[in-house]
Amino acid sequence: MDTGSEQVRIYENAVDAVPRDELDRRLRSGKTLRVKLGIDPTAPDIHLGFVVVLKKLRAFQDLGHTAVLVIGDYTARVGDPSGRSKTRPILSPEDIAANTRTYLDQAHLILDREKTEVRHNSEWLAPLALADIIHLTRATTVARILERDDFSKRHAAGDAISLSELLYPLMQAYDSVAIDADIELGGTDQLYNLLMGRHVMEYYGKMPQCVLTTPLLVGTDGEKKMSKSLGNYIGVTDPPGEMFGKTMSIPDDPMPEYYRLILDREPPEALPVRQKRELARSIVRAFHGDDAVADAEKHFDTVTGRGVPEDTPEVSLSPGKKIWIVDLITRAGFAKTNGEARRFIRGGAVRIGGEVLRDEQLSLRTADLDGEILRVGKRRYARLLSAE
């Protein structure tokens, strides 16, 4: 293995590495590492937020390490309390089994199916006797469990915390003991659980795992982490048109994060709406293939009323320059004076590529406008063309 480039790749789009020096040493050792990622099948679908950590597991897999995907069919009966303000509802065994099937199908869109070791934690958690569980609980203290931010807030507010929730971090940690994990991956909200895994492995006399966390992808609301329960998610099996439309609803600010975490690249230098369309196309292409992109975009334009008339006039722009938005409107013939153009802008009637432009001082690169549609009001359209 090229351990130098390996380390660079592993730390891309990562947040916490604990302990960093030990993880560096293991990566340099040339040993095939067992890299664990746990999934509780609490819902039928995987969204793009989970793709971030799956991609990290695939990076280890591509470098020759063993990807161990632990399906929490047993811990799903409790539900991970991370980030929760109340106890999760209990799932039936039938729901857990059905969710497990779809989770695996979707996870293998990212992972190499043939090289993934899939384990179910009911293998080792279900056979535990009461004496075994009591022994496990001695690995930590109530005070340490209550150090968790979500537990401490709920406790301070007088909200109920079930004993099963308090046991959850120990159950997840015992997974690492059972599979002899060298590294465990998770989102930043999992850091407490992952560190508990180190502590419990040491308690059982094993070499404690290293921990590597990935960022939490902001949802389509642009505020909270992507979550099925919040409805701000893009599912990896969403239909192409729905996937395109959800991506187009993302606010401008988190777009660079989507490019980096999902596409492994920076956004192009272009108008935000153009960046967003390219993001939507790329995400649809990644999960549905090239053939689905054009129809998905056409569907989006149709349902949002953004279809462009066939007889839309064209406006040629000088290449290699910038143009003031007011001049652009008057050049297109949509305003007779600068004052009229300004009124259109102030009234929110000016759009380029579907994005409302409200800055009267805005100057745009003509190269970024090539192929875009200028719309003023409800019925006036112009296709912008640059020779660049």
Domain boundaries, the chain: 3-214, 240-303, 314-386
86-121 pLDDT, tens digit per residue, is 555 667 788 888 888 888 999 999 999 999 999 999
Rounded Cα–Cα distance for residues 371 and 270 (Å):
12
Sorting pLDDT into bands at 50, 70 and 90, what band is 353?
confident
- pLDDT tops 80 at residue 82: no
Rounded Cα–Cα distance for residues 166 and 287 (Å):
37
Rounded Cα–Cα distance for residues 307 and 202 (Å):
62
133-185 pLDDT, tens digit per residue, is 999 999 998 888 887 777 778 878 888 777 888 888 999 999 999 999 999 99
67-80 pLDDT, tens digit per residue, is 999 999 998 877 65
Kindly report the backbone phi and psi dihedral angles of residue 275, in degrees, each rounded to the nearest multiple of 5, phi listed first.
-60, -40
Rounded Cα–Cα distance for residues 21 and 197 (Å):
18
Rounded Cα–Cα distance for residues 217 and 227 (Å):
9
Sorting pLDDT into bands at 50, 70 and 90, what band is 54?
very high
Q: Which CATH number fits domain 3-214: 3.40.50.1820, 3.30.70.260, 1.10.10.60, 3.40.50.620?
A: 3.40.50.620
Q: Is the dihedral of CA 291, 294, 298, 304 positive or negative?
A: positive
Segment 288-315 shows an average pLDDT of 83
**271 close to 368: Cβ distance less than 8 angstroms:** yes
Residue 112 burial (CB count, 10 A): 11
What's the whole-model pTM score?
Answer: 0.79
Helix (H) or strand (E) holding 185: strand 183-187
Per-residue pLDDT, 85: 44
Per-residue pLDDT, 4: 59
Residue 87 burial (CB count, 10 A): 16
pLDDT higher at 122 or 90? 122
**183 close to 211: Cβ distance less than 8 angstroms:** yes
- pLDDT tops 90 at residue 53: yes
Kindly report the backbone phi and psi dihedral angles of residue 34, in degrees, each rounded to the nearest multiple of 5, phi listed first.
-95, 115
Q: How far is CA 273 from the centre of its chain?
A: 20
Q: Do 3-214 and 314-386 share a fold?
A: no
- pLDDT tops 90 at residue 329: yes
- pLDDT tops 90 at residue 295: yes
Burial class (CB in 10 A: 0-12, 13-18, 19+), 42: buried
Q: Please give the single-letter amino acid code of residue 343.
A: R
Q: Which CATH number fits domain 314-386: 3.10.290.10, 3.40.50.10240, 2.40.50.140, 3.20.20.140?
A: 3.10.290.10
Segment 276-287 shows an average pLDDT of 95
